Amino acid sequence: MKKTKWIPCLCIIFVFLGGCSIYKNEMPFYENSSETPEKFGATYMTMNNPYFEALNNSIREVVESNGDILLTRDPAQDQTKQNEQIMDLIEEGVAAIFLNPVNSEDVEPALKACKKAGIPVFNVDAKVDDEEYVEAVILSDNYSAGVQCALDVIERLPGGADIVVLESPDANSAAERVNGFLDTLRENGNGKYIITAAKDSGGELEVAMHVMEELLQADLEFDVVFGENDPTALGALAALQANNISGKYIYGIDGSPDAKAMIKEGYMSGTSAQYPIVMGATAAYTAYDYLDGKEIEKYITVDVELITRVNLSDFAITEWQ
């Protein structure tokens, strides 16, 4: 699996820290009555993001504690490749699939194949368009994450601001975050908050860094950068630091260890924290409940919380939530 690369101009090394074991004594344990381990599949839009590593490790911890096996696949932002991976997982005879789609609409042929094969799909982090093909949808409150960042911008810059939005329109979760951010500025900003650029960054640090470099070369005026996730925000920060530019307000979404470290050092303004460890464990136990014939909730929402220097001490900087 890929890891986020180290960007020399940042002040810390980007590291990944795996999920903790907080659920072992707090959530039910499922014993596989079969002598043969069950296989589960997981595919995420990319593994070039520590968030998905934390999410996957949390699922893996539950699956392996039950004596089963998790097969994880990385489509690297390619929906065609992800569909092929899902077909391969069907051929592997997995008991269930955990899916974070690259594209919420174009994943449908693979979902139909899962339905035909009788393999349940548990949709995590970014929802698919046609939810009839999944048994449960486990998501962060992505719209609220964007709202939280926008409200902090308004509080810090009550006179208005020029804003760069680094988005990822193909990902439903990212689109909801951007919508929450923009809606809040429109509803509460009295026209004082101007979007000077909205650029697709693909949710990737390296892509966002390149996009930000291009905007800087164009002499774009801005006060705030809103990244749809932490790698995007960190990529923008890397570009700004490489050009010796400071004093900008930078926001991300994830609550990653890297972003929290940058908030502590004063380089980022805030990140709306997701809880990938909670989400992963919830998805895994929901899948086991379903396979055991128990009734499950179709929609499960995991709350988010804005982290700034004001409340940073409430969070473990070097760990995921």
Over the stretch 207-230, which tens digit does the pLDDT of each residue have?
A: 999 999 999 999 999 999 999 999
Instruction: Give yes or no for residue 58 having a pLDDT over 50.
Output: yes
What is the residue type of 303?
D
SS3 category, 103: coil
Mean pLDDT of 161-182: 95
Phi, psi of 156 (to 5 degrees): -80, -35
- Name the token pair of 305: 């919380």
- Residue 98 CB: number of other CB atoms within 10 A? 27
Task: State residue 77's pLDDT score.
Answer: 93
- Residues 35 and 4: beta-carbon distance below 8 Å: no
Distance CA 88, CA 81 (A): 10
Q: Are 139 and 173 in contact (CB under 8 A)?
A: yes
The confidence band for 148, taking pLDDT boundaries of 50, 70 and 90, is very high
Spatial distance between the Cα atoms of 80 and 4, rounded to a whole number of angstroms? 23
Structure tokens at 214: 């291009």
Residue 141 · residue 303 · CB < 8 Å? yes
What does the pLDDT read at residue 171? Answer: 87
Q: What is the mean pLDDT of residues 160-172?
A: 94
CA distance 20 to 271: 21
pTM: 0.84
Cα(194)–Cα(217) distance, integer angstroms: 20
* Digit-coded pLDDT (tens) for 88-126: 999 999 999 999 999 999 999 999 999 999 999 999 999
- Residue 28 reports pLDDT greater than 90: no
Domains, the chain, with CATH or none:
39-140+275-302 (3.40.50.2300), 142-273 (3.40.50.2300)
Exposed/middle/buried for 290, CB within 10 Å: 0-12, 13-18, 19+?
A: middle
Residue 123's pLDDT is what?
98
Q: Which two tokens stand for residue 247?
A: 């004093």
Helices (H), the chain: 50-65, 79-92, 108-117, 142-156, 172-188, 205-217, 230-242, 257-264, 276-291
Q: What is the mean pLDDT of the chain?
A: 90
